[in-house]
Amino acid sequence: MRNPDERRGDVRAQVAAQRLAERRVAELCARRGRAAVSAAMDELFAYSERLVRAAISALPDGRYDAADALEAAEGALDVRAAVTIAGDEVAIDFAGTSSQHDGNLNCPLAVTRSASFFVVRCLTNPDVPASGGAFAPVTVSAPEGSLVNARPPAAVVAGNVETSGRIVDCLFRAFGAALDVTAQGQGTMNNVALGNDRFTYYETIGGGQGACPTADGPSGVHVTMSNTLNTPVEALELSYPLRVERYELRRGSGGAGRHRGGDGVVRELRALEDCRLSIISERRAHSPQGQRGGEDGARGRNLLNGEELPAKATRELRAGDVIRIETPGGGGFGVPGA
């Protein structure tokens, strides 16, 4: 770790949260009785499962296939999925997905399952109580050693932040053959890390969400698997040797349609001391796709002092250098003007 003291603080916070949860569950059992608490947990599990099974039953049975691509240094990596709806169950199979590679876009099966569950929850009952019961009707399989079921010693850091989003996009496209789904959003977290021996700063940047059948997509938001919040400019500049030169919506980057995709973001950071830059991003070569005749959203761009950078890049910065991130827009929904 570049800054081990900061990371120790993160670990201590996680351990403290676990210990607090342990105490609270013990207090609940002491107040209500262990049998009653256990029965309530079982009922929550069963209730969530019933709700999701009922929603799946309303979907049209069949097999629906889709594919998408990740942008790696060696070229595009395929993500392929077959979704089979049968009664009140869904089976998702990632056979045909590219093999794990030498970069860090590989995905553990746990992340693949989480992304799959997220899509099913969005399309069935998004407000169902969170529990394993909501996922009981869903099975996920992927070939061992593939991009979405990587085996050690594969690097997986970008699997969580980028490949997870591509899995979501791929599965929404598959379900879109059976029902109306939103157009693709920005499909990336636009990961930017800056640091040296004195500091480390990491952020993700929002973009455009895809339009849905009834409304335009929101602008400047995190899409699909990301849940990070915006860092206030004042807090960033007080804590780090960075200056935010520009932070605005990327007007017109959302795809046109009966409902328009959301716009991405333009963010410029100036380094105030020498440091190293790392970017992990997607949708720089492939646009977020529109749905039902809607136009695609604009691709993202990464620039250093005006020079175009690839989707994945590491550079040494000097004080005064400016990094500019233009995040993708969301796809539109429906034929424009229809």
Which tens digit of pLDDT belongs to each residue from 38-82? 999 999 999 999 999 999 999 999 999 999 999 998 899 999 999
Question: Which segments of the chain have a pLDDT < 70?
Answer: 1-2
Domain ranges of the chain: 59-181, 183-338
pLDDT at 231: 83
pLDDT at 73: 87
pTM score: 0.92
Burial 176-215 (b: 16+ CB within 10 A, else e): bebeebbbbbbbbbbbbbbbbeebbbebbbbbbbbbbeee
pLDDT at 7: 84
